Amino acid sequence: MMRLPWSTIAFAAFVGVLAAVPMIAPEFWVTLGNYIGLYSIVALGLVLLTGVAGQTSFGQAAFVGLGAYTTALLTTTYGTSPWFALAVGMLITAAVALFLGFITLRMRGHYFPLATIAWGISLFYVFGNIEMLGGHTGMSGIPALTIFGVELKSEHRYYYLIWGIALGALWATNNLLDSRPGRAIRALKGGLEMAEAFGVDAARLKIVTFVYAALLACISGWLYAHLQRFVNPTPFGINQGIEYLFMAVVGGAGSVWGAVLGATMITLLKQVLQDLLPWLLGRSGNFELVVFGILMVLLLQFARDGLWPWLARLLPRRAPKAVAPAEPLSTRSRSPYTGPLLDVRKARKQFGGLVAVNDLSFEIRQGEILGLIGPNGAGKSTTFSLISGALMLTSGDIVFRGSSIGGAAPYEIARRGIGRTFQHVKLIPQMTVLDNVALGAYLRGGTGVVRAALNLDAAEEARTRSEAARTIERVGLADHTFEPAGSLPLGKQRIVEIARALAADPMLLLLDEPAAGLRYLEKQELAKLLRALRADGMTVLLVEHDMDFVMGLTDRLVVMDFGEKLAEGLPAAIQENPSVLEAYLGGVV
């Protein structure tokens, strides 16, 4: 007998209860259920935007309003079909979100949420002051929806439409999170530097996420308009926008189920408080806001990840999806090239008056491990950042396989075939080792957000997972494939970083102090892995200050001190070089 996995049973039970509500529960609960469904759709967008991508929006209610008002205007004044109005509403919403996202999402975190507050308020007043939209009294007479000849006039019937769409949105968002773009979106929160080093165009992806969330809000608004058959500006104001955000945060913005949980909790709590508080205080008003505010502060102080993770802990863990063998991902074409793989030409970096790297020149030859060493503050890490594109050159150039990469963005450098690791490990701790490594293969896939959301990426996803699993095996971590990356010891996390870089199929591997903080045996393991990679033809640039580690491993060394090249040559010769000894040991021993 086949045993169904736990998660499937739980999901079936949820859908069963959901479907039964209109048949057995009183009218009041159906109405509440309708609202919870509508709110869940908006909160789902916020889960992706805020919980996963790390961008906070207070203005989602305005997008709900765009969807509602577009259909209200088109179906009443112009008599068009509601479905046509939905398409128009989504087009308008996408255009507005693209524009707002383009101007605000390229900047640091706090401008975007502030812009969403301003935008939420402006649109509220626009709705309230345009006569064609009925001003503050609103518009009525919106027709009911008709599907396959069935008119959805009763709340009971409408309930199934709302929850059908809500479950669809849940399914699509879940697919999206577990895909090529989803891994990249999850990487955004951990800092853009890491995501961009694997070819993710972070600014573009953030905007796409915002548009996705706005479109969900717009659909919810469209549903709302045809449910109420009446719209006025009140439900689209900034307070409602803030409430949507609260739903996502209370539920747990890290998971799609957090959206449904949050929407349910806030809706029910509001019901209870609206009955209870006026009775307690002896007067009426929006007093539930006081309680909401206090609960929110407490929640952020004591359970910042929301309620879903608490609930999820009670459910048994889902068994990991096994990796099926699949065709490898295509590798990059390696046209023969005889010159130096990387040529650093008089690279210079100044921070104000400080010259961190002073006209440094060296080259990396095909198939070698080159060590870049020097005492603390010599400019090694700055040089590393110049090559990887994290910092801009002040002057000079860096040439990779004959073409310049000086001044190119990190994702462009990744595209050319340079992989890197980070001095301070930058993995996504909650994500499995497999998913972390699969993120490295981002540029070798092509699935976009739409294909991913509709689950049309199965073939490519299977190839990516099998490629990632193979890479993990190659670096010797096969036993840890399905563990969260954050649970591994530092030495293994460093190796996961190398695997992630390898998954991109690079021609040059840049390693930033890979031995820092490792124990002796871990260093031995690391050296063994790097030798094996060299034997396979990989070229490696190793930035280190641990002399012992580089001596037995590298083919050549470049020594830096005070931003300049002090010496260059074979490890044995460097070891005898008097000026290197002086720089390291501060004088004649």
Partner 1 sequence: MDFSIAALLAQDGITNGAIYALLALALVLVFTVTRVVWVPSGEFVAWGTLTLAGLQTGRAPDTVKLLCGMAAIAGLMEIWGCVRRGQARRLPRRLLLWTGAPVVIALLVGALAPMQLPFAVQVLLTLALVTAVGPLLYRIAYQPLAEASVLVLLIVSVAVHFTMVGLGLWFFGPEGSRTPPFSSASFAIGDVHVSVQSLLVIATSFSLIAALALFFGRTLYGKALRATAVNRAGARLVGIPPDFAGALTFALGALLCAFSGVLIGPITTVYYDSGFLVGLKGFVGAIIGGLASYPIAAAGALLVGLIESFSSFWASAFKEVIVFTLIIPVLLWRSLTTTHHEEDE
- Which of residues 289 and 462 has its CB atom nearest to partner 1 in the complex? 289
For Cα atoms 191, 247, 439, give the angle at the middle one, nearest 5 degrees: 30
- Residue 113 engages partner 1 in binding (rule: CB under 8 A): yes
For Cα atoms 248, 214, 429, give the angle at the middle one, nearest 5 degrees: 50
Q: What would the two tokens of residue 151 be? A: 């008119």
How many residues of this chain interact with partner 1, rule: CB under 8 A?
Answer: 54
- Which of residues 121 and 144 has its CB atom nearest to partner 1 in the complex? 121
- Residue 121 engages partner 1 in binding (rule: CB under 8 A): yes
Q: What would the two tokens of residue 587 be? A: 């004088």
- Which of residues 20 and 297 has its CB atom nearest to partner 1 in the complex? 297
Q: In sequence order, which residues have a C-beta less than 8 Å from that of residue 165 and are 6 or more positions away?
A: 37, 41, 219, 223
- Which of residues 206 and 534 has its CB atom nearest to partner 1 in the complex? 206
- Residue 269 engages partner 1 in binding (rule: CB under 8 A): no
- Residue 292 engages partner 1 in binding (rule: CB under 8 A): yes
For Cα atoms 303, 307, 311, give the angle at the middle one, nearest 5 degrees: 125
- Residue 357 engages partner 1 in binding (rule: CB under 8 A): no
CA distance 445 to 468: 12
Instruction: Calculate the alpha carbon distances from 208 to 2, 180, 193, 299, 519 in Å.
Output: 40, 14, 18, 29, 43
Interface pick for partner 1 out of 92, 117, 307, 355 (rule CB under 8 A)? 117
Instruction: Calculate the alpha carbon distances from 427 to 193, 419, 586 in Å.
Output: 12, 15, 37
Q: What is the dihedral of CA 32, 35, 41, 47, to 10 degrees?
A: -70
State in angstroms the smallest separation of the CB of 109 from partner 1: 5
Query: In the block, which residue shows the tokens 């699509």?
Result: 172
- Which of residues 65 and 374 has its CB atom nearest to partner 1 in the complex? 65
- Residue 547 engages partner 1 in binding (rule: CB under 8 A): no
State in angstroms the smallest separation of the CB of 510 from partner 1: 18
- Residue 92 engages partner 1 in binding (rule: CB under 8 A): no
Residues 209 to 268 in contact with partner 1, rule: CB under 8 A: 239, 242, 245-246, 249
Looking at residue 56, the DSSP 8-state letter turns out to be: -
Interface pick for partner 1 out of 162, 192, 197, 207 (rule CB under 8 A)? 192
Contact flags string 442-481 toward partner 1, x per CB under 8 A: ----------------------------------------
Relative to beta strand 342-351, strand 395-400 is: antiparallel
> Angle at which helices 60-76 and 202-228 pack, to 10 degrees?
50
- Residue 198 engages partner 1 in binding (rule: CB under 8 A): no
- Residue 392 engages partner 1 in binding (rule: CB under 8 A): yes
CA distance 116 to 104: 9
- Which of residues 23 and 132 has its CB atom nearest to partner 1 in the complex? 132
Neighbours of 352 (CB within 10 A): 5
- Which of residues 282 and 587 has its CB atom nearest to partner 1 in the complex? 282
- Residue 272 engages partner 1 in binding (rule: CB under 8 A): no
Query: In the block, which residue shows the tokens 């179906």?
Result: 75
- Which of residues 143 and 191 has its CB atom nearest to partner 1 in the complex? 191
- Which of residues 96 and 378 has its CB atom nearest to partner 1 in the complex? 96
DSSP string across 194-247: HHHHTT--HHHHHHHHHHHHHHHHHHHHHHHHHHHSEE-SGGGSHHHHHHHHHH
- Residue 317 engages partner 1 in binding (rule: CB under 8 A): no
Interface pick for partner 1 out of 155, 178, 193, 555 (rule CB under 8 A)? 193
- Which of residues 386 and 499 has its CB atom nearest to partner 1 in the complex? 386
List residues near partner 1 by CB under 8 A: 54, 56, 58, 100, 102-104, 106-111, 113-115, 117-119, 121-122, 125-126, 129, 188-189, 191-193, 203, 239, 242, 245-246, 249, 281, 283, 285-290, 292-294, 296-297, 300-301, 304, 390-392
